Amino acid sequence: MTEVRKRKALSQAELARRVGTKAPVIGRYEREEAKPSIEVATKIAQVLEVSLDYLVGNTELELDVKTLRRVEDISKMSPDEKDKIFMVVDALIRDFKLRNLAAS
């Protein structure tokens, strides 16, 4: 949480204000001296624009809100539509990897 908060240029006081708590409480969460309630953790994830899974350490994949919404939209599509989107995404990923390989 600390790294994301700092990357977003938020002080503990500002994060606390947006979440509805006090800066020392955020400090205790960051030092793992206390655990937020699910409601508070959800608010923190929303303010930091990360998934709750990322915030609580269930995944190392930090998905921003825009990416998460796109994934949710894709999950609602038909299998045929998903296949088409994944074909394009796979091609872009392959090209990205090839460019990085060529650059190194």
Judgement on whether residues 45 and 8 belong to the same structural domain of the protein: yes
Which range marks the domain in which residue 9 is found? 2-55
The domain total for the chain is 2
Judgement on whether residues 12 and 44 belong to the same structural domain of the protein: yes
Judgement on whether residues 73 and 96 belong to the same structural domain of the protein: yes
The reply to whether 51 falls in a domain is yes
Judgement on whether residues 18 and 50 belong to the same structural domain of the protein: yes
Q: Using one digit for the tens of pLDDT, what is the confidence trace for 49-84? A: 888 888 888 877 777 778 888 989 999 999 999 999
- CA distance linking residue 86 with residue 10, whole number of Å: 35
Would you state the pLDDT for residue 93?
A: 95
Instruction: Answer for the pair 1, 30: CB distance below 8 angstroms, yes or no.
Output: yes
- Check which CATH number belongs to the domain holding 46 and give it: 1.10.260.40
Instruction: Answer for the pair 5, 15: CB distance below 8 angstroms, yes or no.
Output: yes
Angle ∠(78,82,87) on CA atoms, nearest 5 = 155
Which residue shows structure tokens 């709750």?
52
Judgement on whether residues 75 and 49 belong to the same structural domain of the protein: no
The reply to whether 63 falls in a domain is no
- CA distance linking residue 96 with residue 88, whole number of Å: 12
Q: Averaged over 15-21, what is the pLDDT? A: 96
The reply to whether 48 falls in a domain is yes
Residues across the chain: 104
